[in-house]
A and B are shown apart, each in its own frame.
With several copies, the nearest count.
Chain A
Amino acid sequence: MFSKILIANRGEIAIRVMRACKELGVKTVAVYSEADSHALHVQFADEAILLGASAPRESYLNIEKIISAAKQTGAEAIHPGYGFLSENAAFADAVTAAGLTFIGPSASAIRLMGDKAGAKAMMKQAGVPTVPGREALGSDKDFKKAAKEIGYPLLVKAAAGGGGKGMRVVERESELGEAVEGARREALNAFGDERLIVEKYVPDAHHIEFQVFGDGHRNLVHLFERECSVQRRYQKIVEETPSPLLTDELRARMGAAAVSVANAVGYTNAGTVEFIVDRATLDYYFLEMNTRLQVEHPVTEAAVGLDLVQWQIRVAAGEVFPYAQADLSQRGHAIECRVYAEDPASGFLPSTGKLLQYVEPRGPGIRVDSGFAIGDELTHFYDPLLAKVIVHAEDREAAIQRMQAALGGYVVHGVVTNVDFLQDLLAHNDFKNGAVATRWVETKFSWAPAGHAFEMLVAAALAEVSVSSVKNVSSVKYQVSGSDERDPYSPWKASSGFRN
């Protein structure tokens, strides 16, 4: 086992990894940017190294500085968390070249899966279903032929594309000509490239992914699925396992497909194979593979009963993963809600500010992974993920009730969050029925904040007569002005409550 690990990340995931290290008896090194001088992940570590300015490329994306921090502190391995450099093959190479261990898959696996088109082609080759499609189409006849082979409805989209630009859903052949023309025009405008591709359109698509896990001794298993169809702006906000959509038979087939995908690139450590599942037909299609720990890994931990992060570290240190596929099973039902500093009433725009009040829920079966505390500033530099609430209960209904109770106990003042939005989402019949597809939030869930309750006005009024009893920002004790922002270790930065 390693004696010291550097965690090249911030926020909740950095603390999550450090907790695993602490239980394994491994010392931890935090890295941080200037904005994060007083962040919890810095306080939580045994040592902390300042990387540089707040912009990620000066700090959390700076490969050279991170490796130098590891060398300086004598760390033997680096855990990249998710985001930042976690799927950067050059980083994995650089870590290895520096004589350190990268806690994750090989650089080559990252590279192969990072080329999304190449990965899709490779998986098709390996016999894994991919979304049927045709490229390099020229004439109208080409399009018609391809469309007939794929079947309607289908999607015409820019080959160079992304973000919905130059994208058309075509329901029947009579609409095809006009759609191709329109898409071509839009593609040319948006990307300067009029090439199009045609793909099968899955109208009621579920996003279902399989956790896979491999060691360096040719053991490779899947740890079942995560249903991640509740998305906004193509980002997951609620994840759960088991998926309410899958049958045992389909679960087994998709799990085997996920293992094939991982095997095709000789995968080791934790990874996730993402599929699209057509709700109507239950056909599934390989989407991509994420070669890292996933934000939503805790629901798998709860249902399968394994500590994924500890196992990441253990197999990176050469240990054997001791469970065969038949040893593994799901128990109960787990749900994760991502608490974002964002305003669901304004297009989910990130909300920045200082955490003026912050209370996390507690209770049996409730886990909160978070990286912030009262007084912390949420800036525009980083992802607006504030915390993850994970519940585990006997069945889906009990898990939803537990999550409702947990969200109802979450208090965040100072930044707007999606907590109220999540409560209403979980109470929706479509969610209760497991009938949420990936476009559901945008197309079917029209949400507006509830008007304030009578008691809210009462409470606000009472606060006027008990000012000193309520949180009053102007008297927050740890606000220090005039401190030297550049040197977090300066004693001048230390708290001075007496300024109050």
Chain B
Amino acid sequence: MKLVFNDNTSAHSVDLSASASGKSYRVRIADRTTELSLLNAENGRLEMLVDGRHVSAYVTVDGEKRWVTVNGRTAVLTKASGVTHKTAASDHPGQLTAPMPGQVRAVNVSVGDMVTKGQTLLVVEAMKMEIRVQAPRDGVVKRLFVKEGQPVEREQVLIEIVETSER
């Protein structure tokens, strides 16, 4: 799962994936790759083990903004809007893929539905976390490749959204 966050000065690319053991995450930011576990997350507070150190963080999702507090310092990051969960391998820009191996927990739309940008289309559960697959733009559901309960592989295509005119 590739994400880009902007602060005041520059864009930062974050690559988050499940580790081989399936018990933790691997995160790559610039040249630094780190193993981490999420110990607990509730009420906007995340407890993580980052390289074995205990880190508490507060994160608030506010539209595209991310208010983040770590070690008593607060930053406002902006999630870059281009980075929905589409695979680089896919030639179809409207095809959305699974960011990590998991299971489809919910399918909120049917083929032919009109969807709006940001709308949650499917929910994939991975590592007991919920990933909301959201529409990257306004459009129509052209094809659905998965159904509820189905296990999915990383980068497996889940759904295809096309512009209204393409239908």
Contacts and interface: CB of A to CB of B under 8 A. Distances in A.
Contacts of B105: 498
B76 interface: yes
Interface stretch (B63-71, B109-117, B141-149, B157-165): B63-71
Contacts of B68: 452, 456, 459-460
Given A412-B74, A419-B74, A465 B54 contact: no
Q: Point out which of A46, A411, A465, A466 has the most chain B C-beta atoms below 10 A from its C-beta.
A: A465
A495 B71 contact: no
A478 B130 CA distance: 14
Contacts of A324: none
A423 to B, nearest CB: 7
Interface centre among A408, A410, A452, A492 (most CB of B within 10 A): A452
B40 A493 contact: yes
20 contacts: A43-B56, A356-B67, A357-B67, A359-B58, A413-B67, A417-B74, A419-B74, A455-B57, A457-B5, A458-B57, A459-B59, A461-B27, A462-B57, A464-B131, A465-B16, A466-B41, A489-B49, A491-B127, A493-B40, A494-B128
Interface string B5-45: 10111001010100000011101010010101111111110
Main SS of chain A's interface residues? mixed
B63 to A, nearest CB: 7
Nearest to B15: A461
B73 interface: yes
B53 interface: yes
A423 B73 CA distance: 9
A470 B60 contact: yes
Contact of B61 (A453, A470, A496): A470
B77 interface: yes
B137 interface: no
Contacts of B75: 449, 452-453, 456
Contacts, number: 214
A416 B76 contact: yes
Given A46-B53, A409-B72, A411-B74, 11 more contacts: A412-B74, A456-B68, A462-B38, A462-B48, A465-B130, A465-B131, A467-B130, A473-B62, A489-B39, A489-B49, A496-B129
A9 to B, nearest CB: 18
A420 interface: yes
Given A469-B42, A494-B40, A496-B128, A414 B62 contact: yes
A117 interface: no
B69 A413 contact: yes
Interface string A434-470: 0000000000000001111111111111111111111
Contacts of B127: 465, 491-492, 494
A318 B74 CA distance: 37
Main secondary structure of the interface of B (DSSP, over half): strand
B107 interface: no
A460 B5 contact: yes
A455 B71 contact: yes
Interface in B100-159: 100, 105, 123, 125-132
A463 B36 CA distance: 13
8 residue pairs, one from A and one from B, having the closest CB atoms: A408-B72, A471-B44, A413-B67, A459-B57, A469-B41, A413-B60, A498-B130, A452-B75
Given A356-B67, A413-B74, A497 B42 contact: yes
B167 to A, nearest CB: 28
A408 B46 contact: no
Contacts of A457: 5, 12, 14, 29, 77
Contacts of B126: 465
A462 B47 CA distance: 11
A466 B60 contact: no
A93 B62 CA distance: 48
A120 B98 CA distance: 73
Contacts of B74: 411-413, 417, 419-420
Contacts of A451: 7, 9
Interface in A462-488: 462-473, 477-478, 480, 488
Given A414-B60, A489-B49, A455 B55 contact: yes
Contact of B48 (A38, A411, A459, A496): A459
B59 A463 contact: yes
Contacts of B72: 407-410, 419-420, 423
Nearest to A467: B132
Given A38-B40, A471-B60, A460 B66 contact: yes
A426 to B, nearest CB: 12
A121 B66 CA distance: 55
Nearest to A465: B129
B46 A459 contact: yes
A471 B58 CA distance: 9
A492 B41 CA distance: 11
A462 B49 contact: no
B25 A414 contact: no
A375 B59 CA distance: 16
A461 B34 CA distance: 13
Interface string B67-106: 1111111111101000000000000000000011000010
Contacts of B66: 460, 463
